[in-house]
Amino acid sequence: MKVTLISIPVRDQEKALKFYTEKLGFLIKKDAPLEGGNRWITLVSPEWQDGPELLLEPAPNHFEPCKVFQDALFEAGIPWTQFDVEDVEAEYQRMIGLDVEFSVKPTEMGTVKFAVFNDTCGNNIQLVQTL
């Protein structure tokens, strides 16, 4: 058994697509139209193009419990998911240069360094570096 797809809820798929590709550097794997003006959009890491796909899921627009859960996590400052990086400080500096907003600056805790940013689509995302 292996993970092949993980979804992240977004309120605006086009805005999310732009943010995740232009600011985070993900690549489009699939982009297919669905009913109701939605799309099946998956992204992959340029470093692991055969790895798990990230689905930009429009569920908060159609399923109220998803929206409530997403809002609660965001307001509590809890990340929806995490992305591993080689160097949190370097990614932080690169992303600050692209006007990405961070709620937690690079911080060391035990064997990791992490930072948390706002993906502009309703989610906090954590960057993690193993020290």
Give the Cα separation of 22 and 26 in Å (integer): 8
Give the model's confidence band at 73: pLDDT under 50 very low, under 70 low, under 90 confident, else very high: very high
* CATH code for position 77: 3.10.180.10
Number of structural domains found in the chain: 1
How far from each other are the two terminal CA atoms of the chain, in whole angstroms? 28
Domain limits for position 124: 5-130
pLDDT of residue 97: 98
82-125 pLDDT, tens digit per residue, is 999 999 999 999 999 999 999 999 999 999 999 999 999 999 99
Give the model's confidence band at 49: pLDDT under 50 very low, under 70 low, under 90 confident, else very high: very high
What pTM does this model have? 0.95
Furthest-apart CA atoms within the chain: distance in Å = 46
pLDDT of residue 28: 98
3-27 pLDDT, tens digit per residue, is 999 999 999 999 999 999 999 999 9
